[in-house]
Amino acid sequence: MTLSKESLPAPSRRSVVTAAGVVSLAAALAACGEGGDGKDKSAPAGAQKPDDVEEPGGAAGAALAKTSEIPVGGGKIFKEEGVVVTQPTKGEFKAFSNRCTHKQCPVTSVEGGTINCPCHGSKFDIADGSVKESPAPKPLPAAKISVDGDSITLA
């Protein structure tokens, strides 16, 4: 007696597709599962950060500028460090975050006694970061600097 093709229990096309779909779904879940596999997803063992690697932008203690670079009654934007340094009156230096408090655009100019955001027109006072023109809802946060002689550094 020979077995005919019809007598073998062949899976229907639908059941094959469904099984493949389940396998794909399971693989996808395993790939993006959070903590389900018990593995630590943090840095690999032995990959500690060396002490001498600087954080990008705003490195404390880094020389930022010479005082002579900051115009009296104006200021200068340090995009990399994320700060604006101003000199409202001669010898008085202030620093603020360069991120507008409206929608976080970086400010792009210091003119006319204000730090200006190009996105929606907010303006901030160079002396205290207060809002001079909305829509910004609050002042620019102050940043810490120190002035030593003619050198300005991030504190």
What residue ranges bind ligand FES (CB under 6 A)? 100, 102-103, 105, 117, 119-122, 135-136
CB of 56 to ligand FES, least distance (A): 22
C-alpha triplet 50, 55, 60: angle, nearest 5°: 110
Least Cβ distance, residue 65 to ligand FES (angstroms): 24
Among residues 11 and 112, whose Cβ is nearest to ligand FES? Answer: 112
Closer Cβ to ligand FES, 59 or 119, answer by number = 119
Angle, vertex CA 143, rays to CA 88 and CA 99, nearest 5: 95
95's CB contacts (< 8 A; 6+ apart) are: 83, 84, 85, 86, 142, 143, 144, 145, 154
- Min separation Cβ 41 and ligand FES, Å: 34
Cβ proximity to ligand FES, 131 vs 143, nearer residue = 131
CA dist 40 and 123 (Å) reads 46
